Structure 1
Amino acid sequence: MLMNGDQAETLRAMSRRASRGGLVGLPVLVRPQPQVIAVVSGKGGVGKTNLVANLAIAFARTGSRVLALDGDIGTANLDLALGVQARGVITDVLSGAKRIEDALTPGPEGLFVLPASSGEYDLANLSDRDRGLIFDSIEGLSDKFDVLLIDCASGIGANAVSFGSAAQRVLLVASPEPTSLADAYATVKVLSSHGAVRRVQVVASMVSSPAEGEDVFRRLCVLADRFLDVSVEYLGALINDPAVPASIRTGVPLLVRSPASPAAIGVAQIARKLALDEHFEPVSGAVRLFWRRVLAERSS
């Protein structure tokens, strides 16, 4: 959904009102080096992109400098979830058609998004020149952002595995449906088999209650603990909430349109846990390291 001028001004006004309301108890998150968070899911339709969009807003409201990257190159829609019209897409940067600064699109609360195109772009076929272009572009962003959020493609395709394996931390979104849990387990299995992922943080989505969210985690944990060498931790639940489809229909992000809704509060709580995570240690040059890992993974 592309916004006209009136819609854009309405979104900005709603964002200002929501921002004044704040996210109670959410600390300011400003790190000396960016943290790179990949958000994955075993299947589509579980609210992954919506979570990424609203986590980006939640972090931005703490004063963090946030870049949201659409890693779902085939069916990209993160820009729509944020209610913005793309200035450029990631393939423009990879091809050299745009500088990364020109492809970044401003979003709510001062965050930026780098959208993806709807066509496939094979990272494995990058030339040395294109690799250098990416390294130079990303290196220039290393001191400009505190948080890089990646909306990965659903499932265990090459792009999702590359982004997930290269990130510092992985968030896995799963719903109570048996197929979602089975696919979530398969995703963790593939990521752990690559050796780089040893810790996965779970968000239970589309649940009827906090208790059902914990049940989703327990069911997934039984499989992971028994068969995989990976630590699976619970981040929280996103309750079924009519405010979510309403925000999607209007093209206004949940934390802007309905900041006091149960689902928005759930997102804020998840953002708080991420911000206060004592087990996370930022890595110097995290953004550059992330891209080098992605390119190395796809070229091997």
Structure 2
Amino acid sequence: MSTNLPLVFSVTSGKGGVGKTNMSVNLAYSLSEAGKNVVLLDADLGLANVDVILGLAPEHNLFHLFHEDMNLDTILFDTPYGFRILPASSGISDMVSLDMGQKLDLLDAMDTLEDNVDYLIVDTGAGINDNVLYFNLAVQERLLVITPEPTSLTDAYALIKVLKLHHGVERFRVVVNMVQNKKTAHEVYLKLLGACDHFLDGISLDLVGFIPYDQNVRNSVIAQTPFCHKFPKTPASVAVKQTAQKINAWKVTPNTDGNIKFFWKKLLFQERSVA
């Protein structure tokens, strides 16, 4: 078994409507454009929309993994943009909350991905429901998308609080979306950091970047095309590419919080090899 490990990170949020899925898609595009092998998992299992944003219609999705014993390679879908997606279903109540067996099945299935995957990006749902928490526990890094809206900050804090107090997760990365400038982004970040510092001990909150408000983002959503592809020089695209460059510097970290991870068998093999 190879010890070549993908870096697995979630793109998550406490509140819907903050541009989380669009961020996931465009980070996947930017990382693949940089020569990386990227898989994007649509983990908003009951309200999936990665395929919608991309204007694609995959024949199979994760429903078929759980209910028809289909293997992961059959479900993986090649996009025209250099990365692959693991699509989920939409409007199927059976997918809203995975049972323990399904969670373990998914972890096992992920270990079958070929060894040359560099990044697995997990686009979670919003909020603090069971699926959102599960996927945020199964990744190595969490990229939290926030906006200047007060509800975005309140709900982001709620997600951090639950993951910290109930699951021991202490490290989060932050990207501030739809802001006017860097100064505003920093102010928004400091509000969230201040709340965490005041009420929660031991939280690490790293500002990775900010994405300026950009009308071309909306235009690309309507066109069902990643804005980094359709408008590569627009301010939002430049900012996402800069964020992707920072992510490229992240390293695969050991399982320090005690939660089982995607590619847990390979992680365990690596740890034993080092020992």
TM band (smaller chain): 0.7 to 0.9
1:246, CA displacement in angstroms?
A: 0.2
- Residue 110 of structure 2 aligns to a residue whose secondary structure is helix
Structure 2 segments unaligned to the other structure (5+ residues) = 268-275
1:161 to 121, 130, 133: 133
**Contact between 1:87 and 1:104, CA under 8 Å: does it hold in 2?**
no
Is 2:118 the partner of 1:146?
Answer: yes
Aligned to 2:82: 110
**Contact between 1:255 and 1:264, CA under 8 Å: does it hold in 2?**
yes
1:61, CA displacement in angstroms?
A: 1.1
**Contact between 2:4 and 2:116, CA under 8 Å: does it hold in 1?**
no
Is 2:252 the partner of 1:281?
Answer: yes
For residues 262 and 97 of structure 1, do their structure 2 counterparts lie closer, same or farther at Cα, with a shift above 3 Å needed? same
Alignment partners' CA distance in 2, 1:48 and 1:264: 15
Alignment partners' CA distance in 2, 1:290 and 1:50: 31
2:210 to 208, 227, 237: 237
Output one character per residue of 1:137-163: Cα deviation in whole Å (capped at 9) or x when no partner. Answer: 322105141100011000111111111
For residues 112 and 173 of structure 1, do their structure 2 counterparts lie closer, same or farther at Cα, with a shift above 3 Å needed? same
TM-score by length of 2: 0.86
2:239 to 266, 281, 285: 266
**Contact between 1:57 and 1:255, CA under 8 Å: does it hold in 2?**
yes
Output one character per residue of 1:204-250: Cα deviation in whole Å (capped at 9) or x when no partner. Answer: 01111111111110110000112123101101111100110000001
Aligned residues: 257
- Compare 100-109 and 267-276 and name the one that shifted more: 100-109
Aligned to 1:252: 225
Output one character per residue of 1:52-107: Cα deviation in whole Å (capped at 9) or x when no partner. Answer: 00000111112111110011012110112233222311111122342211111111
TM-score by length of 1: 0.80
Alignment partners' CA distance in 2, 1:50 and 1:291: 30
For residues 196 and 108 of structure 1, do their structure 2 counterparts lie closer, same or farther at Cα, with a shift above 3 Å needed? farther
- Residue 281 of structure 1 aligns to which amino acid in structure 2? V
1:288, CA displacement in angstroms?
A: 2.4
**Contact between 1:33 and 1:282, CA under 8 Å: does it hold in 2?**
no
- Residue 263 of structure 2 aligns to a residue whose secondary structure is helix
